[in-house]
Amino acid sequence: MKTLRIWTVAALWCCTGIAAYGQVASYSTQAITKDLAYFSDWTASALAEGFKSKQLKTFSSPLMRRLAEQLDEGTYQSRYLLNSYKPVASDKVLEKHLKLDNGYSRYENITGVYLEQGENVVLVGDLHGREVGLLIPDWMRQPTPGYKPTQDPEGWGLKKQRIALHEGVNVIYVEKAGNVYVDYFADDPEIAPAVTIHFVTGRVNGYFDAETQTNEDWKHLLDHAVGPVMDVKTRYMQLAYPVEYLKKFRYNEGKELAEAYDKIMLQQYTFNGAVKYGRIPPKRILARVNFNYFMFRDGDVVAFLGNEGTMKSALGPDIYTDWGVNHEIGHVMQMRPQLTWGGMTEVSNNLFTMYVASQAGKPSRLGKSKNYEKAFANVLDAAQKPFIMCVSDPFEKLVPFWQLYLYAKRKGYADFYADLMEHMRNHPDKGRGNASINNMYEFAKVSCDLLKTDLTDFFEAWGFFVTGKFEIGDYSHYTFNVTPEMVEETKRYIAGKNYPKPAEDVTRLTD
């Protein structure tokens, strides 16, 4: 379950599309522009006042004539094809809410429209000086033939075409057919204007808005999808999974599918204090299919392999308690570098995973997999104590961090990590890269402050205070130089608070 720390720059589909010679629709911008005179506005949302049916024969563009005919007859189905789109809150807004700098969906402005490969006509109203485009991701991209999927020279990432839009008539060339999304983000989403977009040549795939639609709507959508992928909008997430697997695992349960993901999100937002401190961002995390690797998190958020077994994890009845799904979403939620200094990438996200599992009444993974015993042997009782970030097994490394939660809970303080992360959101980090280890000592201090306990012995026992020069591989490479001064400063800070020592041995706490 990997995290791609270096985001693959999504190469455009430029030049890879195979031109379909022959029956290709072609549109004249000039002819369409001329015909706009018969409509009430640039987006051709209605016919001009006083329009007469006999004017149909004077049209220059067959496409616009067909549209006018349908509008005249009252048969035009504009529900998905013609809409106004408000911007999605930018990552700057996300930063303000949760101090996370990426990881939410880039495709949140779902249209429900499917565009065929080749020329398409998109009419755009006033943009008010905003930058607006279209995104057509290749959700179903298959690995490059001749390579193992995990060794795909194209990488595992999502490929997409981005098309910039301008006001008026846009004759665009779609490299590869697919669901289209409006690329419109703003730092001021509450006051930024909506933009009207009309996909005149679009086909309706639709999308499921789980908060407003029913399971009957859901089944209808799956049965009438024109593309291979159905979009789902839940309260906190966006899903892009193959219609085939949605039918197989959730044909009758679109709402339940959405609710399972939202339940995970709400628990994770509870754990990090977003609920307590009113910080849930007005943005969604994306879960999508991929065909390269089991499960991972990258710049296009969390991806699950499009095979029977993994799709069952991502869509089946046990999503809420699925370790992998929670783990990948945890990768989006883990604060970096304040709770994710070098060595913590596969650790701090599992605090979220452990939390949801415990809330769901699942047995502790650390207990079940004997990670406590192993960590006790390899760290607490080791002849030569390792530096905690040098413990190679991420589950063993997780033990002391989870023990602090268990200790807090026993003290009736289940909000410990919520408050800790709120503190981090309100204070600057203590360094990045090779200096990121300073965040660990800050973590130790703030933990003592919040728990009002002198945990010096606890951190000592767990190897937080081992000094030396350490090389840590954690997707990136880190060289940590932990000096006696750093450790002394931390211990002095804690001692200065005169907190009592814990009443029990926290290092041996298990669940």
Q: Contact residues for Zn ion (CB under 5 A)?
A: 1, 346
Strand partners, 33: none
* Distance (Å, whole) CA 186 – CA 126: 16
Give the span between the Cα atoms of 98 and 455, in whole angstroms.
27
Q: Which residues of 203-241 are buried (b: 16+ CB within 10 A; e: fewer)?
A: ebbbbbbbeebebebbeebbeebebbbbbbbbebbbbbb
List for the chain the helix, strand, coil content (%; round to 5): 40, 20, 45
Least Å from the CB of residue 3 to Zn ion: 5
Nearest distance from C-beta of residue 476 to Zn ion, angstroms: 15
Kindly tell me which of 322 and 346 has the beta carbon lying closer to Zn ion.
Answer: 346
Minimum CB separation from Zn ion for residue 295, in Å? 8
Nearer to Zn ion, 298 or 346 (CB): 346
Q: First and final CA of the chain: distance in angstroms?
A: 24
Q: How many CB atoms lie within 10 A of CB 115?
A: 26
Compute φ and ψ for 325, nearest 5 degrees. -65, -45
Q: Shortest approach of Zn ion to residue 2 CB, angstroms? A: 6
Smaller CB separation from Zn ion, 1 or 486: 1
Cβ-based nearer residue to Zn ion, 163 or 302: 302
Q: How far is the CB of 293 from Zn ion (least distance, A)?
A: 11
Residue nearest Zn ion (C-beta atom): 1
- The nearer residue to Zn ion, 1 or 140, going by C-beta atoms, is 1
- Of 328 and 429, nearer to Zn ion (C-beta) is 328
Distance CA 98, CA 422 (A): 9
The β-bridge relationship of strands 88-89 and 185-186 is parallel
Of 331, 258, 281, 284, the C-alpha closest to 108 is 284
Q: List residues bridging with 290 in a β-sheet.
A: 305
Q: How far is the CB of 270 from Zn ion (least distance, A)?
A: 21
The residue type found at 185 is F
Residue 85 or 294 having the CB closest to Zn ion: 294
What is the rounded distance in angstroms from the CA atom of residue 198 to the CA atom of residue 409? 54
Task: Find the shortest distance in angstroms from Cβ 394 to Zn ion.
Answer: 8
